[in-house]
Structure 1
């Protein structure tokens, strides 16, 4: 009997992070969730557990998760290397889309049937169901593709803000970016295209680079070049047909960043939002003295927190992105759907170099 009670206690460990703490007060039903109890290799650290749902309360929203992507920041959180680390144990995943099942008596913005995405990082989206406070959720239209909704809150928002907030770009201007095949890079290409902004897209060399270049061109990229071309005289020929960029978007660091800076217009801005090479950003002295470039950083999580009370700015951004999706001007990155139970395969695929598809966990 003591053994049976012990097993029951383990099975019903109450680990639901919905309002910032693990709750011990549940409602009927369990959620299957990918939980990690320590930092380390994501594929080894994650495990599927049954978590009991907490009380709905007056301001709670019961959500059935539909789909959630695996982003690099999600993996960095599990590894313990990200700037934002939740208390352990934690449920993985910061992005995704779900459908509202039930709302508390004081919930005013949401109702059953609505689609919602997290308003901030840390919700823990890799689970079948969650109970969250109303202010932690954003309503999105349910008439857009589920993969678009699941990947809406991070990459497209990052691309949108960087294109609008750092330089006053007008149609005909150009932007240069590395990691152009990333989720953010693909969103930059499509949003810039809709704005009339030309893009110069830098990608790392690889065996199937022509296939990749063709795919980005179909998305609307004006120029796709391998990283090595940044150092070649042919760049002068490129700038005979397109103006030098006023904005550079850096997700790599290292040599790629240094070479991009050399092609930035006088007084232009480089925004760093990632560091895939794990190398520092090295700036030539000439770029600062003679070209007067500005170096900035951007983290969409911080932007959302800075604008948490300004719902108008958040809603305007989401509405603009959803309009582009409906018009067929923005599609999600190439995705591969994987059942939640097969998460190890999806996580391992996400960690491979030159990965061409974003892994989406479907519930």
Structure 2
């Protein structure tokens, strides 16, 4: 009796995904390239398969591509530091995740401008999967920056005053809203512009108590008393007068330098009021293992405010990954609306 032994070949099905990659630092619209790659059908041991849903274009992303941001991924790298996705599969040995979970990058440099990715479980962080798409996409950077600066440097009580420059920035808008929620008074300083009255009205609708121009700040026309915390993201002369308005034992937190000028501080208040100057970088806070439980608590509180309508997410221009060139150009040149890749 003849027998036949067939040779059976088991083929694996690969997943095709689109992503935005840069192989060298440079001008983002030119450095970023669109590519299609394949992923294994199953994540490796200790890895999680994430379907990325939405990711913004932030200034830090652009600086990273240009090569001037402190976080420098090994090249070639997928762009994007912020965004959220949904867990599709989990590899062997993975704990703390389940299919359907929504996740954020655990820290900067993961690369979120992609449709799918297989990531180590310690590179991801679970969030509430009932939050709106836009809020989830930007939950990692601006709201937490505002939250931590209001929580970590001064023991603020209801009625205390927070003074900030760059009052129209994304972080500043969250500062205004969180101050309103927690009962703090907020004073915001903005650049003079043609539509100043409209901007003042807009910021006050978010909860700002007072809005002044940089010129009014520098000419000391701000008469507000009891300023315990100043938030500086401009530097230069603006930081000088911001610090000058602090009361005794006040703190100025610097988290940006849009003027590209050194932080300045008046000598008198530094000596006689014992004011303090500190720096803050949200990415470093995320890198500290002791902050994991506090991170869960922070996201839970921010999520509660978002779902209650107390914390509003800014307007976005939603873009396809294939429109990356124009999206990046707009991200560099348009500041009234953030660009958001939706995959």
- TM-score interval, smaller chain: over 0.9
The one-character-per-residue Cα deviations of 1:242-298 (angstroms, maximum 9, x if unpaired) are: x33100011111111111111111210000011111111111212212222100001
Structure 2: 5+ residue stretches without partners? 1-11
Superposition TM-score, scaled by structure 1 size: 0.88
Q: Select 2:95's aligned residue among 108, 114, 118.
A: 108
Secondary structure of the residue aligned to 1:52 is: strand
Q: Offset of 1:83 from its aligned partner?
A: 1.0
2:212–2:222 contact (8 Å) kept in structure 1 = no
Identify the range of structure 1 (176-185 vs 90-99) with the bigger mean alpha-carbon deviation: 176-185
- Is the alpha carbon distance of 1:302 and 1:192 closer, same or farther for their aligned partners in structure 2, counting shifts above 3 Å? same
Offset at residue 310 of structure 1 (A): 4.4
CA contact (8 A) 1:120 1:304 kept: yes
Whether the aligned pair in 2 keeps the contact of 1:338 and 1:361 (CA below 8 Å) is yes
1:261 maps to 2:243: yes
Task: Name the residue aligned to 2:292.
Answer: 311
Q: Does 1:45 align with 2:31?
A: yes
1:33 to 19, 22, 33: 19
Alignment of 1:1-363 (within 5 A): 28-53=14-39, 56-236=43-223, 239=224, 243-306=225-288, 308-352=289-333, 355-363=335-343
> What do residues 178-233 of structure 1 show as CA deviations (whole Å, max 9, x unaligned)?
11221211111111111101100111122222222222111111112211110235
Q: Name segments (4+ residues, structure 1) moved above 4 Å.
A: none
Aligned pair in 2 of structure 1 residues 345, 209: CA closer, same or farther (>3 Å)?
Answer: farther
Give the secondary structure class of the aligned counterpart of 2:227: coil
For residues 220 and 295 of structure 2, what CA distance do their matches in structure 1 show? 43
Distance in 1 between residues matched to 2:315 and 2:194, nearest whole Å = 18
Q: Could you tell me how far apart the structure 1 residues matched to 2:270 and 2:48 are? A: 50
User: Structure 1 residues 99, 259: closer, same or farther in 2, change over 3 A?
Assistant: same
Stretch deviating more after TM superposition (163-172 or 174-183): 174-183
Distance 1:53-1:210 versus aligned 2 partners, 3 A rule = farther
Name the counterpart of 1:4: none
| Structure 1 SS opposite 2:63 | helix
Using the alignment, how far apart are the partners of 2:299 and 2:159 within structure 1? Answer: 25
CA separation in 2, counterparts of 1:310 and 1:284?
A: 34
Q: The residue matched to 1:43 in structure 2 has which SS?
A: helix
Structure label with greater radius of gyration? 2
- Structure 2 distance, partners of 1:295, 1:27, is 56
Other structure's SS at 2:145 match: helix
SS at match of 2:14: strand
The two structures have a TM-score, normalised by structure 2, of: 0.93
Deviation at 1:345, TM superposition (A): 1.8
Hey, what's the Cα distance between the residues in 2 that align with 1:233 and 1:188?
22
Decide whether the 8 Å contact of 1:189 with 1:221 is kept in 2: yes
RMSD (Å), alpha carbons: 1.5
User: What whole-Å deviation, never above 9, does each CA across 1:106-138 have from its counterpart, x for those lacking one?
Assistant: 222221122111111111001111111122111
Q: Distance in 1 between matches of 2:197 and 2:29?
A: 31
SS of match in other structure, 1:234: coil
Checking the alignment, whether the CA contact within 8 Å between 1:27 and 1:52 is kept in structure 2 is no
Deviation at 1:315, TM superposition (A): 0.6
Q: Tell me, which stretches of 5 or more residues in structure 1 are unaligned?
A: 1-25
